[in-house]
Amino acid sequence: MSRMFYDLVGLSAGICFILALKGLSHPRTARRGNLIGALGATIATIVVFFFVTKPKDGSAAHALPLNNLGWILGAMAIGLAIGVPAARKVQMTQMPQLVALFNGAGGGAAALVAIVEYLRLGAGATTAVVIFTVFTVIVGCVSFSGSIITFLKLQELMTTSPVVFPGGRFVIAATFASVLGVGTWVVTAMGTTPLLVLSGLSLLFGVLFVLPVGGADVPIVISLLNAFTGLAVAASGYVLDSVLLIIAGTLVGASGTILTRLMAEAMGRSLFGTLFGAFTAKPQEASGATENRSVRSGSPADVAILLNYARRVVIVPGFGLAVAQAQHTVRELADLMIAKGIDVAYGIHPVAGRMPGHMNVLLAEASVPYDQLVEMDEINPTFGQTDVAIVIGANDVVNPAAKTTPGCPIYGMPILEVSNAANIIFLKRSMRPGFAGIENELLYDPKTMMLFGDAKASLTKVVSALKDI
């Protein structure tokens, strides 16, 4: 196969990726877009077996087949055996952390690719190649370790609130400075040891970079690390002389940056604030006063009565709905109310759940009609005419602290203004604060009724109580 043909195939795979991103931006074409992307990736992976690239140190390319072919195919088989079942079996609730892990795997792979090529080239590498190697290693390692921390946070294997320690920002700044310093050292000294030190420091920086990010902002960071991995892949494309890697990596880097900004906007955060706001975060003020305050707790029958005499009900789903897998039950409740002539809508906060769009996906699975899902900007003005707002396993997205308490981690985030509804029902497992770790004043509001327990179990009881009325 000629170099020209190889590069043209690379270009067509690149076009597939552009069409994939374009398709993924519209609901109707999204699934096809993803398949086109998979097609491009498949083409690119097949063609690489039929062309031997010449290393940059000028040595001649060997004849086909590729060296180490058995190892390559074996490693791909292992990757398939891990990746496919993981993607198939994952619960909808755990999808965000799986995406984070996949992203970390990509970042790690990019860093390893650059390291191997560097080891091989040794003194034969040009300065430009070494600079791009250093970039790939830094960014790839940061993406790898950072993604693992986001995974641990989302899986709740570690605390979800910002981890801030005294002098933390100086440690982060010092680590970043040493990453840059060692990077320069690698470029000038060209040794294996400096590169290992660089990898270690970059991994450390990735951890320090993500630790201070509060739980609610984690999705934004995943998106940012996703863009990082894209850039690392693009840089490795230069090292390996691959047009395809440059195109694909840059596309992901650029679109990932835009997407990160869109997500931050949907949450009403500045990107800068998300990443650096936690550096100045103060420990939560102890809310001793709240402990003795009483909440109004009701039974499923109380809730059913309230709903039965309502004219308009807005359902606000959150992560608790996803955890309890209660999407089908909530639909049953909604259908029952509609049958009774009650006006029902779902108020969807853009970042309810663990990721933007999480609730749409979940409710679509239960085939909730699309026109019942109302976005935040449209639903907010209607809460004044709403008799009952049912908040199911959501907390931060309705927390008035986002408007009233400057300095709290979610301050400035637009919320669903359920406090304007005549009655509020909270379905929660406990009084525990939400993902962002902030006390919610609304729980103590006189017009709020709490229904404690697993969302699915509670909803089932409400449904049967409502049927009996």
Q: Which residues are catalytic?
A: 396
Nearer to other proteins, 78 or 189 (CB): 78
How far lies 414's CA from each of 121, 248, 396, 401, in Å?
52, 34, 10, 11
Is residue 449 part of the contact set for other proteins (CB under 8 A)? no
Is the separation of the CB atoms in 424 and 391 below 8 Å? yes
Nearer to other proteins, 291 or 371 (CB): 371
CB of 227 to other proteins, least distance (A): 8
Nearer to other proteins, 255 or 448 (CB): 255
Nearer to other proteins, 22 or 311 (CB): 22
Is residue 317 part of the contact set for other proteins (CB under 8 A)? no
CB of 298 to other proteins, least distance (A): 32
Paired sense of beta strands 343-348 and 312-317, if any = parallel
DSSP string, 390-415: EEES--GGG-THHHH-TTSTTTT---
CB of 13 to other proteins, least distance (A): 7
Interacting positions 47-76 with other proteins (CB under 8 A): 48-49, 52-53, 55, 66-68, 71-72, 74-76
Residue carrying the six token digits 């496919």:
84
DSSP, collapsed to helix, strand or coil, labels residue 222 as helix
Dihedral sign for Cα atoms in the order 309, 315, 320, 321: positive
Q: Which of 80, 83, 77 is nearest to 99 (CA)?
A: 83
Tokens representing 39? 């097609």
Interacting positions 105-164 with other proteins (CB under 8 A): 105-106, 108-110, 112-113, 115-117, 119-120, 128
Nearer to other proteins, 214 or 414 (CB): 414
Segment near other proteins (CB under 8 A); pick from 159-167, 240-248, 274-282, 292-300: 240-248
Q: At what angle do helices 327-339 and 455-468 cross, to 10 degrees?
A: 20
Interacting positions 261-280 with other proteins (CB under 8 A): 262-263, 266
Interacting positions 186-225 with other proteins (CB under 8 A): 219, 222-223
Question: In this chain, which of 358, 428, 456, 461 binds other proteins, going by CB under 8 A?
Answer: 358
Residues 6+ apart with CB under 8 A from 226: 103, 143, 252, 256, 259, 260
Interacting positions 75-114 with other proteins (CB under 8 A): 75-76, 78-80, 82-84, 86-88, 90, 92, 95-96, 98-99, 102-103, 105-106, 108-110, 112-113
The burial class, CB within 10 Å (0-12 / 13-18 / 19+), for 24 is: middle
DSSP letter at 428 equals E
Tokens representing 166? 């005294």
Is residue 18 part of the contact set for other proteins (CB under 8 A)? yes
